[in-house]
Amino acid sequence: MDALLLAWFAANGRDLPWRHTKDPYAILVSEVMLQQTQVDRVIPRYLAWLERWPTAQALAAASPADVIRAWQGLGYNRRALNLHRAARHVAEHGWPDDLTALPGVGRYTADAVASFALGHSVLPVDTNVRRVQERTGHAFGPESGQALMDLGATICLSRIPRCGVCPLAEACPSRGRRYEPLRKQSRFEGSFRQRRAQTLRLVSSSARPVGELDAEAVAALERDGLVKLNEGVVALPV
C-alpha cells in the first residue's frame, strides 16, 4: 500500500511552503499554526511570520506583545505564547533531544518536526493519518507521513471518503463506507472563546481600563499570560 500511496503523492501531493524547508524552526511554526487552523488560512500567515522572524533567535528576541499581535486572527492565542517560549528555549539551550520538552509541543508536533526537519524515521500521526490507518488497517511506514496527510485531507475525508478516486481503493476493506459526523463543531459565535478573542483584540490595539472590558474574559486571558492587569489597566505583556 505504501508504494501505491507514494506514487499517488508524487503526482497529487499538495505544494505547501513548509515542504520546501528542512529548518526545524520553520517546521515548528507551521505545525503549531496548523494545530487548530486550516491550511489555506495558515499559508499567508506562515510566510509573513517567517519573513518577520526567520529564526528561533529572532522570535526569542521579540516581545510577547508583538508575538500576540502577530498571531491575531489565527485563534487559540495560547499557541503564540507557547511558540514564543519554545523559541526562547531553543535560542538559549538549543533543540532538546525530546522535543515534547518544548512548551506547546505534544507527541504529534514533536514527531512532525523530527520527521520533516530532522529526518528521523518516525510516522507523525495526526487525525487524518489515524483515519487512513484505521480504515485501511495498514501499518504505513515513516516515509508515508506527508502522503497520508494529503490522502486524509483530500480523499479519505472523515464523513464521505472519495473512494472512487482513491489510490488505495482496491486493497481497502472500508471502500464505499459512509460515516456519521463524530460531533458537531462547537459554535464560535456567542461562545466564551469569541468573547476572549474580542477582548484580546481590543487590548492588542491599546491598553484599556478593566471596567471597559469583559471581566470574565480578562480573567481567563490573564490566567493564560496573554494580558497583564496592573492598577486597573489591562495591557499585553511586554
CB 163, min distance to ligand SF4, A:
3
Q: For residue 109, give the nearest of 83, 141, 133, 91 by alpha carbon.
A: 83
Among 90, 161, 196, 220, binds ligand SF4 (CB under 6 A): 161
- For this structure, is 143 an active site residue? no
Decide if residue 149 touches ligand SF4 (CB under 6 A): no
CB 121, min distance to ligand SF4, A:
23
DSSP three-state, residue 5: helix
Per-residue binding string, ligand SF4, 89-128, x by CB under 6 A, is: ----------------------------------------
C-alpha cell at 190: 456567542
Q: Is the dihedral of CA 88, 89, 92, 94 positive or negative?
A: negative
Q: Which of 31, 134, 170, 189 is catalytic?
A: 31
Contact of 151 with 166, CB cutoff 8 Å: yes
Contact of 146 with 130, CB cutoff 8 Å: no
Instruction: Kindly identify the residues of this chain, within the stretch 62-91, that bind ligand SF4 according to CB under 6 A.
Output: none
Element (H, E) at 209: strand 208-209
Among 58, 163, 202, 207, binds ligand SF4 (CB under 6 A): 163
Q: For residue 156, give the nearest of 120, 191, 193, 127 by alpha carbon.
A: 127
What positions carry a catalytic annotation?
31
**Binding interface with ligand SF4 (CB under 6 A):** 132, 135-136, 155-156, 161-163, 166, 168-169, 172, 174-175
